[in-house]
Structure 1
Amino acid sequence: MLKSLIVDNDKKSRMMLKQAVLGTGKFSDDGTEENLQGARERLTSGSAFDVIFVAEGFPREELEGFVSAVRKSKSTDEAACIVVGGSSQDEDHAYEEAILLGADGSLIRPFSVEKLEGVVELANTVKKNRWAAKEQIRIKRLLPEIMAKLDAAAEFRSEGFDGNQSLDAMKSACDQLNHEEIESVVMYLQQAIDGFSSADLPKDLLSGKDLYRGTSHRVRDRIERKVLTKIDERINQERESEEQSETPEDT
């Protein structure tokens, strides 16, 4: 079941949409709000939703601000925001207006099962894409932290110290990298940790520097080439794709 919030200052329209939404059997009854302020309070309280329906009848500036608030709230940053319009609107025009507001799509009356099924599909797609984007950013930020700990461990061991504190911190950080796209990298990091942990401390500090720092540099190079570069490319591609979709075609 998808959790939904309906925001509309017209009671009849609000209840009509609520009835249609619940009639699909795909949404739970999570309430309605008659104004944007009440809806914002829901967001700030931490209430989570998968879909937020907001009527077009509110002032444009307030609508833009509300959609932006939905995006910034941790409880709704993966939610699909749908602008609801009247039956007199052209569907293509309504969609373009919704995108310009920063929303994900539009819904115009009459509310058919087919239209609401489309909203369900859109909500699932939005959630998946935003989760993936957040994971990429999380990984991008976490990997340099792990590399810094590996560098520290290499430095300690090359100087004749065990560096166990840095290795333990690195192990804890690696546990957060539970992502199938970088399994090989995590394995490589674990091998480096195990190698550092099991190796005898160097009797010859000069050779120790070469051994540990060399390992650290190789791991860093592999991560930068195989993970961070690809994540940057993907984030840029998604940003460009989103910007293109938000630009109305010339007519």
Structure 2
Amino acid sequence: MLNQKQIDYVMETIARMFPDAHCELNHRNPFELAIAVMLSAQCTDALVNRVTPALFEKYHEPEDYLAVPVEELQRDIRSIGLFRTKAKHIRQMCACLIEDDNGQLPETRDELVKLPGIGRKTANVIASVAFGQPAIAVDTHVERVTKRLGICRWKDSVLEVEKTLMKRVPREKWSLTHHRLIFFGRYHCKAANPNCPECPLLDLCREGQKRMKSRGDFIAARK
């Protein structure tokens, strides 16, 4: 496991690699962001961004999603995985917003997670991106990267990863760190084909060293 000095170095290195990391889900307001994040579960941001332009032109307010049959909404998001479940959750969330929140999204994670289809990760993204609150959302990229590097333990749950990062990273850097770790995992330390030979963190990465040694070119890669 990495110590605090090593973790600080990791975060500084990733910050230099991806200084402009940001939420890549297209949206114009907090409500659209919530819809986009719900659609992104087990799906790439790129695919969601291909669907949402037409979706957001058709549906503007929570009432719009309830004004059509669920089958119509399903057709509108059919190219996205789990579209039936997501259509159901979107409509349930919209109903709750209309009934309990005057059609407006609550701004805190504790209130957001009470809405159907919005778990802790989704709530963290919305609170951070839409409302500027410090938060770390642990998606598959964040979990993979922190465990490969040794910031977290292999056996840690998603919640344990989040709590470790909240403890190890200054509060004012939580949101930026979340986006930078995602970019690092999405574009460099990929799940199936991480760019270990050219990684500036290879000397600290237990998974990277293991992969390079198994290929027999660890020493050559570091020369």
| TM-score normalised by the chain length of structure 1 | 0.27
Q: Quick check: which one's strand share is greater?
A: 1
Q: Flag the structure with larger Rg.
A: 1
| TM-score normalised by the chain length of structure 2 | 0.29
RCO comparison, higher one (Cα < 8 Å, 6+): 2
